[in-house]
Amino acid sequence: MSGVVDPSLLDGAARLLAAARSVAALTGAGVSDESGVPTFRGAGGYWKNHRAEDVATPTAFRRDPALVWEFYNYRRDLLAGVEPNAGHRALAELESLGARFTLVTQNVDGLHARAGSARLLELHGNIWVVRCTGCRGEHTSREALGALPRCTACGALLRPGVVWFGEPLPPGVWEQAERAVAESDCLLVVGTSAVVQPAASLAWRAAQAGSRVIEINTEPTPARDIAALGLYGQAGVILPDLVGRVRALRVQQGTQETTS
């Protein structure tokens, strides 16, 4: 079932993907919406009347680390109980369908990796990583943390291993993401409001380099302006349908190659 999306648009998008030698995807919070993870800018995007931009900053952490940890512990608790959805799984399958593939995500929830995506760039870090503000050591922990967790090695305050507003992206990750989108023949832009920089600029970078951009979202975003195609509806419904069509085209291509 493709919901409200016109099947001819889905076929058009599938043909672009099946013809591409290199595919990239840029995802945002919307891809995890159907797993029950609240998005940042939709309804329910507020936490205790704070916007993400108010608590996810180095300034907020210096001013009130307990409040910032309360926010991240709330999100870690929430994420501990959720599972990847059909959209995450479809993107993992797309990776196995022949083209070179890179998934660039703004999400810190780790759901793409759990769904099986391997060539994955987490632009904003990962919420299960904790980093020491003193010795900079970091480790992954899914355990519940205290109100002000401290480093067992040096005693300094720990912080979430995510990128906050005003901070640089993890070294090397941005360069790899830029290269992947610029080299792609087709870029999927899925479940992102396409307004948070520099991540959003990847869609424009891809279009400038000649990649065909396909937007998948419940509603058009600024990325619609540079998209070759827009598929509007739930990512967890559209992606499995779309990837099923790509799979069918790849099978046809394989059959044609072996019979010619």
Distance CA 67, CA 236 (A): 33
Binding of residue 224 to ligand OAD (CB under 6 A): no
Binding of residue 111 to ligand OAD (CB under 6 A): no
Binding of residue 32 to ligand OAD (CB under 6 A): no
CA nearest to 184, candidates 94, 67, 76, 102? 102
Interacting residue with ligand OAD among 6, 175, 219, 225 (CB under 6 A): 219
CA nearest to 217, candidates 4, 8, 35, 12? 4
Half-sphere exposure of 21 (CA within 13 A, CB side): 2
Look up residue 182 and give its amino acid: A
Q: Minimal distance in Å, beta carbon 51 to ligand OAD?
A: 8
Distance CA 157, CA 57 (A): 16
**Of 130-138, 148-156, 176-184, 187-195, which segment contacts ligand OAD by CB under 6 A?**
187-195
Is position 112 annotated as part of the catalytic site?
no
Binding of residue 232 to ligand OAD (CB under 6 A): no
**Of 22-30, 75-83, 169-177, 242-250, which segment contacts ligand OAD by CB under 6 A?**
22-30
Q: Given the complex with ligand OAD, which of 124 and 212 has the nearer CB atom?
A: 124
- The Cα diameter of the chain in Å comes to 68
Distance CA 170, CA 127 (A): 14
Binding of residue 165 to ligand OAD (CB under 6 A): yes
Would you state the structure tokens that stand for residue 237, as one six-digit string? 């419904």
- Rounded to whole angstroms, what are the CA distances from 61 to 2, 64, 176? 43, 5, 29
Q: Given the complex with ligand OAD, which of 64 and 135 has the nearer CB atom?
A: 64
User: Which residue among the candidates 88, 112, 124, 139 is catalytic per the annotation?
Assistant: 124
- Rounded to whole angstroms, what are the CA distances from 241 to 29, 203, 235, 246? 20, 23, 10, 9
Q: 33-52: which residues touch ligand OAD (CB under 6 A)? A: 33-34, 39-42, 45, 52
Binding of residue 30 to ligand OAD (CB under 6 A): yes
Question: Pattern 124-143, binding to ligand OAD, x per CB under 6 A?
Answer: x-------------------
Distance CA 84, CA 113 (A): 9
- CB-based closest residue to ligand OAD: 30
| Residues tagged active-site | 124
Interface residue list for ligand OAD (CB under 6 A)? 28-30, 33-34, 39-42, 45, 52, 56, 106, 124, 163, 165, 191-193, 196, 217-219, 221, 234-235
